[in-house]
Chain A
Amino acid sequence: MSENDVVAAAKERLEASGLPSDWLDTPVHWGVKAKEQATPENGGLRFEYLNVDVYGEVPEYWENNTEIPRGAIPDTRTEQMGYSIFNKSEVWSDLCAGLYEDAIADRWNSSADIPWESLEPIGSDLERAVCQIATLMSEYGWTKAQTTGRWLQEISYGYIEVKLFLGTVVFDAARLYEVWRKRALANGGGLGRGGRNWKFLPLTQSYTFSEFCVASIMHDAMLIALLRHGEQLAQTDAERTIYELCQQDIERHLAYFVDHMRYLMLKEPIRREEIHRYLNKAEWYLAKDGDDTLYSALAVVMGDGREGAEEAMADVAELRREQVETYLGYLRQCHLGDRDDRLNEELRKWAGMVELEEEEKIPV
């Protein structure tokens, strides 16, 4: 029997038994064989390899408000699902599929992958300081997971790669939360004092996804600059590993947020001023929150106890300067280099940047 006859016979059998059979001869983009790329050298069957033929066509505007898989044939009876993001420019980055697979390949387990046995008693001030830092790290992890998770129900299947990647962000953030909680409760310490949370409002209150993205760039950039000092801040191998693994995760998140914003700025340059407003807000809350427990705890760690904290403050100031510069550096990568001249005044002081006279500001 030829393939056509096989399908026709199958249809007949299904119909005879009262089953729908439309799916058997629905027009389909037959012959896509992603398995052919799935070699061990290629990293197995990565999501990028699925983007061929009609399945790889990511439309500028996605019209369907149901959960229909991109490339499938619609069933017009399906209820709308309440998605709100239908513009590619609002969420897209070409990196998503790859970053999604990277996140899975890099997965780690805070129970088994941290050499917890390397923890040893440190002075009580130091332990308090590490625990204070850990408390604030956990708090950000929680906020990051909650605020990222909220966007999933807004994004349609048209941009599936973005959503899959955001799933890994949520999961990474869960680990950021719990690995630091574990550190605080593992070595004779306990949790410290929670932060004031004002600085998180730009994340929780965002109305558009890109607003959420730039607020995330600010928070993640501040965090990554700190994590990059892991070698200096860690007391033990356990902490060193925590810093490294968290850094690896946050680097991926930044890679996406930055690439997405770069894409948005290219596609919709008209949104530049609007985006600056969000940055104004995010920076204002960050500066105003002025949560000094983080920097004071860092000073105790860097000063090896409370006696050395005062002196270590100069190093902490340097670290905070790096945080602001790191943040501006990421914005430059997404064609928002004009932020240098519009940075919040408090943050300018953190970064040791001169306050510019009005007429000196670089025209936008």
Chain B
Amino acid sequence: MVTADKLDELQLEPEVPELDLSWLNLDTEWGVNAEPGRKGLTLQQINKTLYGDIPATSEDSSARPRGAAPPEGATPRMTPWVLGEATETFSESAGLLYDEAVSRQWSSATDIPWDTLDELPEDIERAMAQLCTSLTEVEFIAGDVPGKWLPRIAADHFESGLFLMSQVMDEARHTDVFRKRALANGGGLLLQGGGGGLRQILEAEDFTQMSSMLHILGEGFVQSLFRLGELIAHNEAEKRIFRLAAQDESRHVAFGVTHLKYTLDNQPDKAEEVHWTLDMFENTIVDPDQANPGLAGALVYLLGDGDVDEGWRLFWHVRRKQVLEYLHRLDVAGLGGRLESGRLHPALVGALDEN
């Protein structure tokens, strides 16, 4: 048997790799310079010359960075398929949104003033614990979805890939911060609240369909709610959680809106498919059978601070805002007219009624 000592004795010179300098004479674009600006060196500043040209169709399913020369010799197919058409996954804001995500990361451990969580009456603590149970569950799926799509993004359209990678991180933090809130102040985790469209987002097999459900309608509603987090929160810690999470959700919503806009600008006949998806998804989220058994009750209870009638009034105030902002986002994306054409789900039309 050979011992480790003996192996050391038997050590040979390492083999020397072959020197091949052919890559010194590539005809890739050369002479590119980028100057850091006010925010440093952002993706926008390096998106120059050929490196900034986004191919409408990418033939490349490898990991080769956009603008690099292809390798010599045979290369394998890395994944069964990637989405080569820019209309399938691209957004002109993706790079910017990624840059913003990187500069606005926060820590649920240190950026939330947890010491402001005072003892709450048991009914309120329970309601907040229930809301956070439902939210950590929703955020969990919101992180699975971009993960699922990552291997399908063409390296030539890397901006969308980077954005989705930042979303994975953001949703991890959201999953985490709502779990933290539930377990921080005596409450605990209460009832699971499955359904409500989570499965529909995960199972979608078309990126634009997925994105219009997740980013525009789902996260749009969540963002409108978080922006009204002041109405729900009972202390500075909770306010900060909603404020910081809303900031993240704004980026996710913006990605969805700008992606849909890019798609519809370049492929207008996709519109009907997206309408159809929204028909289905609106129906799912208002379907009483799909309703999360804890979420609505806890939300109403918190909004009214225990006064259920007042809670309902504020709930409809929130819902109205959610629907108005949703319709506005669709307008911006070039998919306006759902209300006017009678396509918006009646339950959401009803929410627009001020009374």
A291 to B: closest C-beta gap in Å: 8
B340 interface hit (Cβ, 8 Å): no
Asked if residues A45 and B14 are in contact (CB atoms below 8 Å), the reply is: no
A170 touches B165 (CB 8 A): yes
Q: Does A149 contact B (CB under 8 A)?
A: yes
Asked whether, in the complex, the Cβ of B136 is within 8 Å of the Cβ of A150, the reply is no
| Bound-complex Cα distance A204 to B26 (A) | 28
A287-304: which have CB < 8 Å to B?
291-293, 295-297, 299-300
B31 within 8 A of A: yes
With a cutoff of 8 Å between Cβ atoms, the chain B residues found around residue A52 in the complex are: 183
Task: Judge whether A72 is part of the interface by a CB distance below 8 angstroms.
Answer: yes
A3 to B296, alpha carbons, bound, how many Å? 22
Closest to A66 in B: B194
Residues of A within 8 A of B146 (CB): 149
Q: Is B261 an interface residue (CB 8 A)?
A: no
- Whether A105 is near chain B, meaning CB under 8 Å from some CB there, is yes
Return chain B residues, CB-CB under 8 Å to A265: none
Interchain CA distance A243-B98 in the complex, whole Å: 22
CA distance A70 to B176 in the complex (A): 12
Whether A139 contacts B185 in the complex (CB less than 8 A), given A109-B103, A352-B12, comes out as no
The reply on A188 being an interface residue by CB < 8 A is yes
Interface residues of B in 259-308 (CB under 8 A from A): 293-294, 296-298, 300-301, 306, 308
| A73: chain B residues within 8 A (beta carbon) | 189-192
Known: A68-B137, A78-B195, A112-B40. A145 touches B65 (CB 8 A): no
Which B residues between 69 and 124 are near A, CB-CB below 8 angstroms? Answer: 69-76, 78-79, 98-99, 102-103, 105, 107-110, 112, 114-115, 117, 121-123
User: Within the assembled complex, what's the spacing in Å between the Cα atoms of A73 and B137?
Assistant: 12
Q: What residues of chain A lie closer than 8 Å to B26, measured between beta carbons?
A: 192-193
Contact A81 B63 (CB under 8 A): no
CA distance A45 to B185 in the complex (A): 12
Contact of B14 among A149, A185, A351 (CB under 8 A): A351
Number of A positions contacting B (CB below 8 A): 143
Partner of B162, one of A23, A34, A178, A195: A178
**Given A50-B179, A78-B195, A35 and B184 contact (CB-CB distance below 8 Å):** yes
Contact assessment for B76 and A146 in the assembled complex, using a CB-CB cutoff below 8 Å = no
Do A356 and B2 touch (CB < 8 A)? Answer: yes
Chain A to chain B: the 9 pairs with minimum beta-carbon distance, closest first: A78-B194, A167-B172, A152-B147, A194-B64, A111-B40, A149-B150, A44-B109, A321-B14, A171-B169
B contact set with A: CB distance below 8 Å: 1-2, 7, 10-21, 23-24, 26, 28-34, 36, 39-43, 46, 48, 51, 62-65, 67-76, 78-79, 98-99, 102-103, 105, 107-110, 112, 114-115, 117, 121-123, 126-127, 129-130, 133, 136-137, 140-141, 143-148, 150-151, 153, 155, 158, 161-162, 164-166, 168-169, 171-173, 175-176, 179-180, 182-195, 198-199, 202-203, 293-294, 296-298, 300-301, 306, 308-309, 312
What would be 7 A-B contacts, judged by CB atoms less than 8 Å apart? A7-B126, A9-B123, A32-B183, A69-B137, A111-B41, A151-B147, A178-B98
Known: A111-B39, A185-B32, A361-B2. 6 other contacts (CB 8 A): A3-B122, A45-B109, A105-B109, A149-B146, A316-B17, A352-B15
